[in-house]
Amino acid sequence: MSHISPVLWQFLAKWLQHCPLFPPEASTIAPQMDALFFFLVLISLVGLTLVVLLVVAFSVLYSKNRHPKAVQIEGSTLLEATWTIIPLGLFLVAFVWGALIYFRVYTPPPNAMNIYVVGKQWMWKVEHPGGQHEIDELHVPVGRAVQLTLISQDVFHSFSIPAFRVKREAIPGRYTSVWFEATKPGTYNLFCTQYCGTGHSTMIGHVVVMKSGAYRKWLASSTSGMSLAQDGERLFASLSCNACHNTRPNARGPNLVGVYGSQLTLDDGQTVTADAAYLRQAILDPSQNATEGYAAIMPTYQGQISEGGVVELIEYIRNLTTGYRLQETLNTTQLPPVNESKTAAPAPGAQTEVNP
Amino acid sequence: MSSATIVNLPDPSTARIPKMNFLTRENGLLSWLLTGDHKRIATLYLISITFFFFIGGALAGLIRLELLTPQSDLMAADTYNKVFTMHGLIMIFLFLVPSVPATIGNFVIPMMVGAKDLALPKINLLSWYLYILAGGVMIYTMMVGGVDTGWTFTAPLSTHYLNTNVISAGLAVFIAGFSSIFTGLNFIVTIHKMRCPGMTWFRLPLFVWANYAASILMVLGTPVLAITLVLVILERTIHIGVFDPAYGGDPLLFQHLFWFYSHPAVYIMILPGMGVISEVISTFSRKRVFGYTAVAFSSVAIAVFGFFVWAHHMFIMGISNYAALVFSLLTMLVAVPSAIKIFNWAFTLYKGSITFETPMLYAIGFMGLFTIGGMTGIFLGATGTDIHLTETYFVVAHFHFVMVGGMLMAFLAGIHFWWPKWTGRMYPEKISQFAAVVTYIGFNLTFFPQFILGMLGMPRRYAAYPPQFQVLNVFSTAGATVLGVGYLLPVLYLTWSLRYGAIAGSNPWQATGLEWQTQSPPLTENFTEIPIMDHEAYDYEWLERQQAKEVASV
């Protein structure tokens, strides 16, 4: 091999060393999913070996040279039943095992910390409750359950972290969620896996898993100074939501204090849980989601608030446990406006005063 | 390997192509363009799908070249997106869907059932014209700048966010859909109504069963695709608000509608291929297909179950967890008939008398690759692993194993198998065996690394990718060049054989199907007298008695 240049050899060696054949396992779910993966690899290999063996053996044993006259056989119910039932059984094992993992990945534990992710062409905007805003990066602590609440502002995107074996579609117009618990500090790939237009392949980033001390340090040094809920409060005031949603007895809109997670009865008699998905709908399409006892007078905010803004409002409402902060916003709106001028028009005048 | 062969050619010194046959009956362009003869229409189809196959193949070559390096350096991302979209659209709607049914099926089904032609010859011709129109619109789309939605037309990307030629591409697919509906309709009517005396359902060759099942899917599934495309076009032009949440629509509705067709569509593509494999394996092992009824009903089972698994494309898209459960279970069920087929084919070889001509090599290749393709489908049908593997190169590898490793191998098996019937001449055996082996090697080299890439998490439809994926991509691109050679060879030697191939005689493979009991190339109306089916399908003893009788009468 001396005629091959050593430079080429070095190049090849370096190249091949940087060719991983299996992704890192960096979450609690990853080893579980890999176990199923290898089970499936195993049954595939057994199946394939069996087929190859049968074909090769029969091809050799019964080639025309050796076996010039074919023996006609109709079939065999017993054999056919065997190769119906055994694959079916194996496939059902794969089904049950897969379903167990699937439910685990898409059922976040109640104590998971929530991070909002908004996908848009072509970036991931990550909003931490503490006011850390990231683009195409996600910092998470090791050993804690993290739930991602995903939404897209435009087209389908898909949030994929191969090292964690989790992936979830970010869909325009509805929240989806996924959770994971990272087990190994490090930096991992983050991909958008759903084709989303020109910059699809640039919609990639990193997930940084940090030890809890480093994570706390990162949280402190990266916050914008305003938590998501505080941003939401400011938006709430600037959109004059408090013109109706105040805690006064004659308020035209329902009281939002403690509404998050409660059961609401709607105009049409339906009962819903006031979760993020409902609140988002109620803000963007209020006429279809009016609470019982209130006139459907709220204007739509579709197209006026970005998904990031909706997330802030939801986070604000979620953290609204007393009426005090809400009344405070009434005072702040009387101060010189911060960043709004025309959008602050109050809701269309209510002709009817509705008292709950 | 053995030099034994079943090929039985007439004496070359005296053999002549019959003067009167469907190719020579009439001459001139108009006699082709206005023909009602299923064999001529099949020929037109064969030429046209080969043309589109090579356009689609060239686009595939561009994709692989771009992916040779991690950066998007050969093409800009936009161009790359258009290239893979056009590759998908052309290969699926203009090659795979019509490949076996509209060419081989069109050619042999009427002969297999002992009929003079398909039931509706003019509809058959209309189907080809629609195909050509669809192809024309597709080429127009490409000429005016292409489209970059991906072949899935995903809304709201396609309805709102792209300014490429979505409407003309959608129109092309819409028209192609009607072409395939007409083909399916024609097959269903023919198989029900035109079987010759004695040809009961369970005497039909398995190729007919497979195409019948595929035809049902075409007729029932394709209209849903047509509706979906119309809605996409309406949403794009007048913003009707069905799919785009900005107009009050629901993007998941698009996914449901699209996959309601497009999942059955993969069975439209693969079932006729499975039919070819049944014919070829039986012929070259001189045996009745093991468990004929099981194989026949497994085709029907695939067609039925195939309609109820569409949401397995949406496991990560926020459908209810319980819906995912149901669709995963049904997906496991639809995998079983395919497993049955594979084992039945394997056992057809048992105690046979096997020879290894080119169609058989392709069929054996099919069995290996389709097994891998089918098993990796289980990885994706199991909800847990699907989360990690979906939307990555694992999916790309999976469906290329099924569609290229499965369907294209079956198509080539069928083309070689019926070539002597079609043209009256043999293809050159040695070089075509070589091409089959080249195809097999090239295929595995191209697509196997993509499974590993998918497991590593490399997403589909990326013009640029992280450098750690490069080595495997280089293997894949290298394989694609080998594969390209494997596909070019048949075009060359099959064209050569049109003039220089040995005269085939009416039944070079000594096969049992009725199509082999008439001259090659057949007469315009296939048979001199309406055949009477007095034996089971694949009855090689009947064939021997028949030949003995002929010898005796001479």
Neighbouring CB atoms inside 10 A of B462's CB total 28
Pick the residue from chain B with its C-alpha nearest to A37: B385
Crossing angle for the helix pair A323-334 and A228-238, to the nearest 10 degrees? 50
The phi and psi torsions of B338 (rounded to 5 degrees) equal: -65, -40
The C-alpha of B516 sits at a distance from chain A's nearest C-alpha, in angstroms, of 20
Quote the pLDDT of residue B554. 64
Q: Is A38 on the interface with B (CB under 8 A)?
A: no
Nearest CA among A207, A187, A161, A212 for reference residue A30: A161
Residue A182 to chain B, least CA–CA distance (Å): 16
Give how far Cα B260 sits from Cα of B3, B23, B233, B313, Å: 48, 40, 18, 10
| Among the partner residues B4, B160, B333, nearest to A65 by beta-carbon distance | B4
- Looking at the complex, does the CB of residue A64 fall below 8 Å from at least one CB of chain B? yes
Contact A64/B246, CB-based, under 8 Å? Answer: no
CA dihedral B423, B428, B433, B436 (to 10 degrees): -50
Q: At B445, which amino acid appears?
A: L
**Residues B103/B44, Cβ–Cβ less than 8 Å:** no
Provide, as residue numbers in chain A, all residues whose Cβ is less than 8 Å from the Cβ of B444: none
Read off the tokens for A138.
């996600």
Strands A205-210 and A133-135: unpaired
Round to whole Å and give the CA distance between B101 and B271: 9
**If DSSP states are collapsed to H, E and C, what string results for A232-271?**
HHHHHHHCCHHHCCCCCCCCCCCCCCCCCCCEEEECCCCE
Q: Does domain A21-223 have CATH number 2.60.40.10?
A: no
What does the DSSP 8-state code read for residue A219?
H
**Rounded distance, CA A129 to CA A312, Å?**
9
CA A340 to CA B551: how far, in whole Å?
100
Largest CA distance in chain A: 100
CA separation for the pair A267, A269 (Å, rounded): 5
Residue of B nearest to A11 (CA): B471
CATH 1.20.210.10 fits B2-553, yes or no: yes
A55 contact residues in B (CB cutoff 8 A) = 346, 349, 364, 367-368
Longest dimension (CA), chain B: 80
Q: How far is B266 from chain A (nearest CA, A)?
A: 20
Q: Mapping DSSP to helix (H, G, I), strand (E, B) and coil, where does residue B465 land?
A: coil
Q: What local confidence, expressed as pLDDT, does residue B289 receive?
A: 94
Domain ranges of chain A: 21-223, 228-331
β-pair type (A145-152, A157-161): unpaired
- Give the domain ranges of chain B: 2-553
A24 shares contact with chain B (CB less than 8 Å): no
Chain B residues inside the 8 Å CB shell of A70? 285-287, 351-353, 540
Spell out which residues of chain A touch residue B296, defining contact as CB-CB under 8 Å: none
CA distance linking residue B471 with residue B476, whole number of Å: 9
> pLDDT (tens digit, 9 = 90+) per residue, B64-114?
999 999 999 999 999 999 999 999 999 999 999 999 999 999 999 999 999
**H or E segment to which residue B253 belongs:** helix B251-285
Query: A286 contacts in B (CB within 8 Å)?
Result: none
Report CA-CA distances (Å) from A120 to A131, A200, B318, B411: 19, 10, 18, 42
- Please, are residues A179 and A148 in contact by the beta-carbon 8 Å criterion? yes
Q: DSSP letters of A169-203?
A: EEBBTB-EEEEEEB-S-EEEEEEE-S--STTGGG-
pLDDT for B3 equals: 58
Chain A: nearest CA to B243, how far in angstroms? Answer: 10
| CA B108 – CA B205 distance, rounded (Å) | 11
d(CA B375, CA A87): 10
Residues of chain B where predicted confidence (pLDDT) is lower than 50: 1-2
> What are the C-alpha distances in Å from A323 to residues A226, A261, A329?
20, 17, 10
CA atoms of A261 and A264, how far apart (whole Å): 9
User: A47 vs B375: CB contact, 8 Å cut-off?
Assistant: yes
Which residues from chain B sit within 8 angstroms of residue A302, using beta carbons? 246
- Find all residues with CB under 8 Å of A164, minimum gap 6, and list them: A26, A27, A29, A30, A180, A182, A188, A207
Contacts of B27 (CB under 8 A, 6+ apart): none
Q: Choose among A23, A54, A95: nearest Cβ to B382.
A: A95
- Residues B455, A158: C-beta atoms closer than 8 Å: no
Q: Residue for token digits 């069995």?
A: B367
Instruction: Report the number of secondary-structure helices (H) and strands (E) in chain A.
Output: 8, 12
For B278, the token pair is 């049944």
Q: How far apart are CA A239 and CA B188, in angstroms?
A: 63
Using the beta-carbon criterion (under 8 Å), do B354 and A58 form an inter-chain contact? Answer: yes
Token pair belonging to A340: 């709004």
Q: Return residues 374-393 of B near A (CB < 8 Å).
A: 375-376, 378-379, 381-388, 390-392
User: Which residue is listed with tokens 């505080």?
Assistant: A230
Chain B closest-CA separation from residue A303 CA (Å): 8
Q: Do B355 and A63 touch (CB under 8 A)?
A: yes
How close, in Å, is residue A251 to chain B by CA atoms?
29
Each residue's pLDDT expressed in tens, for chain A with a length of 356 residues: 567 778 888 878 877 777 888 999 999 999 999 999 999 999 999 999 999 999 999 999 999 999 888 898 888 899 999 999 999 999 999 999 999 999 999 999 999 999 999 999 999 999 999 999 999 999 999 999 999 999 999 999 999 999 999 999 999 989 999 999 999 999 999 999 999 999 999 999 999 999 999 999 999 999 888 889 889 988 998 888 888 888 888 888 888 888 888 898 888 888 989 889 899 989 988 888 888 888 888 888 888 898 999 999 999 999 888 777 777 777 654 444 444 443 434 444 333 333 33
Distance from B423 to chain A by nearest Cα, in Å?
27
Residue A1's pLDDT is: 56
Spell out which residues of chain A touch residue B381, defining contact as CB-CB under 8 Å.
91, 94-95, 98
CA distance B468 to A202: 16
Interface of A with B in 110-149 (CB under 8 A): 121
CA A286 to chain centre: 25
* Chain A closest-CA separation from residue B271 CA (Å): 19
Model confidence pLDDT, tens digit, residues B11-49: 888 888 888 899 988 888 999 999 999 999 999 999 999
SS3 content of chain A, % helix, strand, coil (to 5): 40, 20, 40
- Crossing angle of helices B166-193 and B121-143, in 10° steps, is 160
Side-chain-side CA neighbours of residue B352 (13 Å): 31
Q: What is the pLDDT of residue A17?
A: 78
**Which chain B residue has the Cα nearest residue A91?**
B332
Q: Strand, helix or coil at B55?
A: helix
Look up the CATH superfamily of A228-331.
Answer: Cytochrome c-like domain (1.10.760.10)
Q: To the nearest whole number, what is the mean pLDDT of chain B? A: 93
Please state, in angstroms and rounded to a whole number, the distance separating the CA atoms of residues A159 and A117. 9
Contact (Cβ atoms closer than 8 angstroms) between residue B419 and residue B465: no
Given the structure tokens 């074909």, which residue do they identify? A55
- Chain A residues in contact with B248 by the CB 8 A cut-off are 285
Q: What residues in B contact A68, CB-CB < 8 Å?
A: 353
Task: Confirm or reject contact between A96 and chain B (CB < 8 A).
Answer: no
Residue B108 sits at the vertex; the CA angle it makes with B105 and B113, to the nearest 5 degrees, is 105
Contact list, B349 vs chain A (CB under 8 Å): 54-55, 58-59, 62
* Alpha carbon distance B390, B385 (integer Å): 8
Of A88, A101, A197, the CB nearest to B162: A197
The contacts of residue B518 (CB under 8 Å, 6+ apart) are B111, B506, B526, B527, B528
Between chains, do A43 and B375 touch, taking CB under 8 Å as contact? yes
Torsion of CA B490, B492, B498, B501, to 10 degrees: -70
- Please name the residue ranges forming H helices in B401-469: 409-423, 429-456
DSSP conformation class of A127: E
SS3 at position B13: coil
Contacts of A33 in chain B (CB under 8 A): 384-385, 387-388
